Each structure stands twice: as structure tokens, then as C-alpha cells.
Structure 1
């Protein structure tokens, strides 16, 4: 288990920072992105009418939404990417000698991507808080908690995507687009009140939307005690949904892998 994580962490680091100055270039790019978001956010939605009474500046609205979903997005997408790379590079067969099921190996391989992205996000939020007046409020308390709660949901999506990839040997671009659409519907980049009426009808049933809304309220300094019951209810529902989807995805992946006896 630790061997897989260690090897994949080294692989991710080399891929993301292949040269000595890559880390500096990455930091400059992220800083430039922060400047871009900060100054363009002032040009959009100068009033908070579309935010349903949440007193929150638009820069904080956009940045926290993007930063929350980025590690989860990377985690889900790396589940597919690592499986494809494992087949192409012959790495998967070596890991299977560890006598662990494929879904377990996929999860372990994706952990380093999640950890690296989480560290990046922490640094971005830190810089934004001290230099760009990021409005975090009480969100810093529930931010990591909600990330853990949402992890089974994204793990299930990643496993479903793996099964699709095993069946058709393609589909990465479509999986990426579906993930992006799901995050947009959660209201990560703009208030969901600006969506068409027909779309807004289904939003209460989209678990990521409720999750994002609770983070917005925490950002606006709503006392956590007032939100505790709603948080507990949403967290329980999301965990139950994520675990159920994960179990179903594992079953479907096993069913798909029956055509590859040397893997199962």
C-alpha cells in the first residue's frame, strides 16, 4: 500500500514539476491567475443580487468554489488517467502482484494527485487571504470536512469512468466535460440563480449544489451552530449516496473486467 503511494507520488511530482524551475513557474502562473480573477471579478456582479442574500464578494465566491472542487476533480480524473497509463506502461500488472483488487489500486494511485493538489490549494488560499482580502469566514472549518464527505462521490464517478474506459478504450474527453458540467451546476463559478429556470428546478436534488451552498453561507459568517443540523443532514446524505454509488461502481467495474481474466 505505502509502496504504491510512494511510487505514484514520485511519478506525479516528476510529471508536474519536470525541471528545477517548474515550481517557480507554477507559482507565477497561479499568482497571475489570482490577479486575473481578482480584477475581473470586480467587473462582474458588482451587486450581490444573484447570491440569494449571501453577503459575499464575487472574488471570494469564485475562488473558494474553484479551490474546493479542484482537488476532487483531479482525484476523479486521475483514476482514469492512471488506469490508462498503467495499461500503456505495463505498470498495472506489477501492482496487481500485490494481491489487491483493481479498484483498491486505482484508489491508492489517485491519492498522491489528491494530496499534491490539496497542498497547492492550501497555499493559494493562504496567499489570497493575506494579499487579496479573501473572505473565508467560517468556511475554513468545514472546507476540509466537506472535501472528505464528497470524496466517495468523486471516487464512484472515477470508478464508473474506469469501467467505461475499459469497455471502449476511450472517453477521457467526455469524462472531463461531464465532471466540469457537474461542478458548474454546483455553482462553483457563478451563482446558480443565473441558470435557466428549467435547470434550477433540478438543482435541489443535485448533492454538490447543496454542499456548495452551505460553504457559501459559512463564508458569509453564518454561525455554524445555525447550520449544524443542515450540515449533518447533507453530510449524511452525501456520504450515503457516495458509498452507494461506489459499491455499485465497484460491482460494475468487476463485471467489466471479466473480459480481462488476467486482471481479475
Structure 2
């Protein structure tokens, strides 16, 4: 299991109250994790020291990041790389170098290239509205750790929120959403409620913006369980039932 997946699991299943009589101060739970994109190896250390929960290097090749990555090989912070193309030799090299996960499009990833026991995989969708429902449903067997999407600039509408709900509901995967440098509390609440596990600040995020983002995520907090949650049941007809229905209609015609 990748560090990214473990971090998401910890976020969604916070530790219970300690047993005993000594009160232990606990940090307020966060709405989501906070990550950031970096382009240059020199940006890796400042992002982690500023408090980022995860870092994604966005580069054409992994070359140049080896020294910066080696310093955090045993660290708990998940560090991944976003690449345009991934094949098996490259995936094996990434795992050996200490990368926790790789971000790539489905089209740019060779089938069977990524061993989920060695390297996490985040599927990137640059335009979710062009992704069919069948492809999203297929992500479960592909064992992706998360889905990365970019939020379009401008006001965040209910239509856009509904689209993200479609992605996470059909795929069953948590969302990593690339946002602006200074997201609002309303945007954080909306992204949290539609199944996002992390907001990702774009390249060039400063230490102040990372710290401010973390404070905002704690101020918003996790989603409260709705009284209606769990009451909805998705009724999806099976192929067998559809076939049986067709046979009944044919018998009625005779």
C-alpha cells in the first residue's frame, strides 16, 4: 500500500479517543489533505517543510529529482511524480528510486506496467466530462489509489460539483483536485462533500499559502454524517434481469 493511500485512510478513519484519565490534546481534524505541485527539485524541501501533506513533481522526466527525493525516502510524506508516459521499465525505476506513486493518464500508461504492491498509481483526467461512465467503473479493478482532476477556473458551480460526484461515485476512488493558490472556505466545503481527499495547490505555491491552506482545511473540518447518508440505494439492473425482461416481452407478443 502506498503512503498516499495510507494518508487518505488515516484522514477518513481518524484515531479514536485514547483510553485513560489523562486528557491528550488533539489537533482539529481536517477537511482534506493538502498537497502541492512542484516543477523543480529545489522546490521539494520547502514544500514539505511548509507543511504539505503530499507533493507531486510535475515533470517530463524523473531525472534531476533523485538527490532531493533520497532525503525523504523514509519520510511519511507521500511524494509522487506526474509523467506523460509510463511503461514497465520506467515504473520499476520509479519504485526503486523511492517514488511513492505516479500520476498519469490512462492513455499514457502501458497496461500492466505498474505493480500496485511497489508503486501507487493516480489516474489523471484532464477533462472529466469526456470520460464515459464505463471507464470510471473500470478503475476499481485497475487498483488506482486516487483520481486527479483540475478544477476549472472561475466560480465553482453545482454542475461542476455534480460532475466530480459522478467521477468519485462511479470510480470508487478518492479525488485529488488541483485548485488555485488560495481556495475559499465555500470551495473547500464543496470539494470535501463531493468525495475529495485532497486539494492540490498549483506550482509556485508559497510557504505562506501552504500554511494558510492547512489552517483553512482545519477550520472547515471533516464532513458531518448526514441523517440521510446510507439511506440511498443505487438500483442498477443486472444484465440477467434485462435479458429476462426481454424474454417476457417476447412471450407476451405471441
Provide TM-score, normalisation by structure 1: 0.23
Taking CA–CA contacts closer than 8 Å with sequence separation of 6 or more, which of the two structures ends up with the larger relative contact order?
A: 1
Judging by fraction of residues, say which structure has more helix.
Answer: 1
Judging by fraction of residues, say which structure has more strand.
Answer: 2
Which structure has the larger Rg over C-alpha atoms?
2
Provide TM-score, normalisation by structure 2: 0.24
